[in-house]
Amino acid sequence: MGEWELELGLTSWQFATEIKPMVRRHTISVFVGDESGMINRIAVVFARRGYNIESLAVGLNKDKALFTIVVSGTERVLVQVMEQLQKLLNVLKVEDISKEPQVERELMLIKINADPNYRAEVMRLVDIFRARIVDISDHSLTIEVTGDPGKMVAVQRNLRKFGIREIARTGKIALRREKLGESAPFWRFSAASYPDLEGIMPVNTVLRATKRTQNGESDTSVGGDVYPVETIVDFSVSQVLDAHWGVLNDEDTSGLRSHTLSMLVNDSPGVLNRVTGVFARRGYNIQSLAVGHAEVEGLSRITTVVPGTDESISKLVQQLYKLVDLHEVRDFTHLPFAERELMLIKIAVNAAARRNVLDIASIFRAKAVDVSDHTITLELTGDLDKMVALQRLLEPYGICEVARTGRVALVRESGVDSRYLRGYSYPL
């Protein structure tokens, strides 16, 4: 082979290498009208194309759901997947927000060995990462951490030397960052949001403060949209995740209640599809779902909340154990466990109303993670009741976007059961 042929061959090889499609991580938001089996249908679209969902967070209420999905793939194939998702019934919006400036957060509960001799060092690391202790026993600590994916990795690396027992982790949720200096697209939301503009606001505002009807229910005239990119007047409250979850916390007369299940599965394509398929075929409506990497490499933990009686859930667990990729299923419902959820909420406010919103946020220990001329984005962790309470208090200001994770949970090694203690005294 001559020199020019060799050079041409190298050039062709280099050119082929350069034009090879780049595989990168994508964050996909899917807003749907919720119905039984929707999670399974979305998981099927990814499974058929060989995508392994790295993380999945689902914010659900009675009639809507917002999925935040992280997958790795090429741009061309991902566009095809998004087109297929858009064809599903009740899918309202599909969007790749990977290239947008965004606030991204994850939530992790991590249980570690905490020998008394090393506990002081552990507490210093907790302070450094701005984490919180949610349970403590003689030989273990359960820690709650929120942050971006890089922070999650750093926390695990620094705590690994103490011995990690369990990890329950949500998928990533994300909201766009609003740009400073732009005109306020949400200025018509409410007088509470823009008190200095109250005198010039039109009578037919798109979003009004929440009113209470005689039966105590909310008259949710609250407008906006989970993806406010088109004209604001085209949307209504039905396109925002509201605070009405519809989760059953207490057992009713028939024995029906919400059960929290924790599943350890292989981290491989199609696993989520097969797991949710078991629920869908038996008519179970998943109320909460969180998928994230577990404490062992190659495994993921799925935490889900489903309504049912003890007998029906026991049969469901037996069916789940028939799956090849499933290693363990635990029902935490009758055990003392620590539970947490994460919410990002964007409120329409200008400088005149910002102080009021921050005062409300401080009561709930919510953190401001993004501020623009016309909005403020808050981050909140806690249980279900805390999420509902904050969202309802902020409704009069105008809620632009809401992103929520599902519930993650770990058993309390201390054995302290808060629900039990509400009715009985606990011996010291």
What does each of the 428 residues of the chain score in pLDDT, given as a tens digit? Answer: 555 454 545 454 454 445 556 778 888 888 888 666 788 888 888 888 777 788 888 887 767 888 888 888 788 888 888 988 888 888 888 888 888 888 999 999 999 998 888 999 999 999 999 999 999 998 899 999 999 989 999 999 999 999 999 999 998 999 888 876 554 444 444 556 556 555 444 434 433 434 443 334 444 433 333 333 333 334 344 455 666 555 555 666 677 888 999 999 999 888 988 998 899 888 888 888 899 899 998 999 999 999 899 999 999 999 999 999 999 999 999 899 999 999 999 998 888 889 999 999 999 999 999 998 889 999 999 988 898 899 999 988 888 888 888 899 999 998 887 766 666 555 55
CA distance 232 to 33: 19
Tokens 């909005």 found at? 375
User: In whole angstroms, what is the distance from residue 285 CA to residue 276 CA?
Assistant: 10
The rounded radius of gyration (Å) of the Cα atoms in the chain is: 23
Q: In terms of Cα–Cα distance, which of 346, 51, 80, 131 is closest to 227? A: 346
Q: Choose among 235, 324, 281, 289: nearest CA to 53.
A: 289
From CA 161, how far away is CA 143, in angstroms rounded? 15
Q: What global pTM score does this model have?
A: 0.78
Sign of torsion, CA 195 201 204 206? negative
Q: Which superfamily, per CATH, for 181-246+339-409?
A: ACT-like. Chain A, domain 2 (3.30.70.1150)
Domain boundaries, the chain: 21-102, 181-246+339-409
CB 34 within 8 A of CB 73: no
Contact of 365 with 173, CB cutoff 8 Å: no
What CATH code is assigned to 21-102?
Answer: 3.30.70.260
Domain 21-102 and domain 181-246+339-409 have a common topology: yes
> If residue 342 lies in a helix (H) or strand (E), which one and from where to where?
strand 337-348
- What are the distances in angstroms from CA 264 to CA 247, 267, 302? 23, 9, 6
Do 171 and 56 meet the contact criterion of CB atoms below 8 Å apart?
A: yes
